[in-house]
């Protein structure tokens, strides 16, 4: 079982919402669409489902061209962030409705409904109507209906956004297991890099309607092929700094230099961009060779166990994520530190030329 998009694109009123896209999804896989709001995640899902017809290219399901096939004729289940339930039906009947359409036995329907309701923490609410539930409970009802549909392709568009933290964490762990057993192709849209990492599987990074990289989630995170993917797969976004290479030296500004070793030694002399994640900026040096940068603190955000520090460095805006509650004053000068081992190096066109860890790059 495969879903293949071949040169698929989408335009609306002359504006391109999805640039020509080639992607192949395999049976029993978790596939995350990761990108900011308006990056094209929902548009790409609608093309996969058959809700929209592509402007170019074709959609191939299990070897069959289904580009013009109606969504009603495909084995597709879709759950949106904004839940959709049948208001006149009970929770039990909402969940059971797809199985009744498939003609399953009453006993099998009852078994599946109750097992799925237990997973979704809805077992005590089966006799209620959706409008008698909280928003999070209504979303769980919609999600349960998709789980029992036995669809070959399951599309979830930020389905956990309205749920409380504890249930979100539980379902993030359970959903991949459920669909792996079913053999369905699972596509999950999110704006959160952390959620993509927790779900695992494969990740497609999206930016302005383009899939900038697709592959195993840990690989896309650790080895982004370009600065755009690195920006998408970092929350807060990756920090950037113009650097230069001359001979066997890399200059980072603030009179910070490091030897150009391994892959960096092979780079032509010139200007490049260094990228580093917020969690790698520190308020004190911890290893030998750490670089120091003079910045100005704009604002702090305390999350409880960590503090986001928003910084300005010679016109560049950086964000650092540091441990603990920090007592800092906006406007103060602040020296921050960066271990060169955590630096990615990108060419001027944004393509990755030296991955992190820098010292081990080959």
CA 10/CA 52 separation, integer angstroms: 8
* Helix or strand run (H / E) with residue 264: helix 262-265
Pairing type for strands 76-79 and 153-157 reads parallel
Is residue 220 located within the same domain as residue 251? no
Q: Which residues pair with 345 in a beta bridge?
A: 274, 354
Is residue 14 located within the same domain as residue 87? yes
Tokens (6 digits) for 241:
């700094």
Residue 344 is part of which domain span? 236-360
Q: Look at 143-152, 225-234, 337-346 and tell me which has the smallest mean pLDDT.
A: 143-152
pLDDT, one tens digit per residue, over 12-59 is 998 999 999 999 999 889 999 999 999 999 999 999 999 999 999 999
* Helix or strand run (H / E) with residue 106: helix 106-119
Is residue 198 located within the same domain as residue 284? no
pLDDT, one tens digit per residue, over 193-237 is 999 998 889 999 999 999 999 999 999 999 999 999 999 999 899
Report residue 361's pLDDT band, with 50, 70 and 90 as the boundaries.
very low
Is residue 141 located within the same domain as residue 241? no
Report residue 181's pLDDT band, with 50, 70 and 90 as the boundaries.
low
CATH number, domain of 312, equals 2.40.50.140
Is residue 254 located within the same domain as residue 291? yes
Number of domains in the chain: 2
User: Looking at 199, 228, 257, which one is the last position of a domain?
Assistant: 228
pLDDT greater at residue 82 or residue 216? 216
User: Looking at 193, 228, 263, which one is the last position of a domain?
Assistant: 228
Is residue 299 located within the same domain as residue 190? no
Is residue 278 located within the same domain as residue 208? no
pLDDT reported for residue 301: 93
Report residue 179's pLDDT band, with 50, 70 and 90 as the boundaries.
low
Is residue 205 located within the same domain as residue 263? no
72, 48 Cβ separation under 8 angstroms: no
User: Looking at 179, 202, 228, which one is the last position of a domain?
Assistant: 228
288, 340 Cβ separation under 8 angstroms: no
Per-residue pLDDT, averaged over 175-203, amounts to 85
CATH number, domain of 165, equals 3.40.50.300
Is residue 169 located within the same domain as residue 54? yes
CA 338/CA 357 separation, integer angstroms: 13
pTM above 0.85, yes or no: yes
Is residue 274 located within the same domain as residue 255? yes
Nearest Cα neighbor of 83 from 132, 124, 143, 41 is 143
Is residue 204 located within the same domain as residue 87? yes
Nearest Cα neighbor of 207 from 234, 185, 239 is 234
E-strand stretches of 62-179: 64-65, 76-79, 153-157
Is residue 58 located within the same domain as residue 170? yes
pLDDT reported for residue 146: 84
- Count Cβ atoms within 10 A of the Cβ of residue 75 and give its class: 0-12 exposed, 13-18 middle, 19 or more buried: middle
């Amino acid at each position: 079982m495969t879903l293949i998009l071949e040169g698929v694109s989408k335009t609306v009123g002359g504006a391109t919402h999805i640039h020509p896209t080639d992607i192949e999804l395999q049976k029993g896989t978790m596939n995350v669409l990761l990108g900011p709001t308006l990056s094209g995640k929902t548009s790409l899902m609608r093309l996969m489902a058959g809700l929209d017809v592509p402007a170019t290219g074709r959609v191939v399901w299990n070897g069959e061209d289904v580009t013009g096939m109606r969504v009603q004729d495909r084995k597709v289940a879709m759950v949106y962030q904004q839940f959709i339930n049948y208001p006149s039906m009970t929770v039990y009947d909402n969940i059971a409705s797809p199985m009744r359409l498939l003609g399953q036995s009453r006993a099998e329907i009852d078994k599946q409904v109750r097992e799925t309701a237990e997973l979704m923490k809805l077992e005590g609410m089966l006799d209620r109507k959706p409008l008698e539930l909280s928003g999070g409970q209504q979303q769980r009802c919609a999600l349960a209906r998709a789980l029992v549909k036995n669809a070959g392709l399951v599309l979830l568009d930020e389905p956990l956004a309205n749920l409380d933290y504890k249930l979100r964490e539980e379902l993030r762990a359970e959903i991949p297991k459920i669909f792996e057993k079913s053999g369905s192709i699972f596509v999950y849209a999110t704006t959160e890099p952390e959620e993509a990492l927790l779900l695992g599987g494969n990740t497609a990074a999206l930016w302005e309607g383009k899939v900038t990289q697709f592959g195993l989630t840990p690989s896309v995170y650790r080895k982004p092929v370009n600065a755009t993917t690195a920006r998408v797969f970092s929350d807060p976004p990756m920090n950037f700094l113009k650097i230069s290479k001359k001979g066997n030296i890399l200059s980072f500004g603030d009179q910070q230099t490091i030897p150009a070793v391994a892959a960096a030694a092979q780079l032509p002399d010139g200007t490049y961009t260094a990228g580093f994640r917020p969690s790698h900026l520190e308020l004190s040096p911890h290893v030998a060779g750490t670089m120091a940068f003079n910045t100005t603190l704009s604002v702090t955000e305390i999350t409880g166990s960590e503090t986001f520090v928003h910084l300005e460095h010679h016109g560049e805006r950086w964000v650092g994520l540091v441990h603990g509650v920090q007592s800092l004053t906006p406007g103060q000068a602040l020296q921050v530190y960066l271990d060169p081992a955590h630096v990615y190096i990108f060419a001027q066109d944004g393509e990755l030329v030296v991955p992190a860890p820098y010292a081990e790059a080959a």
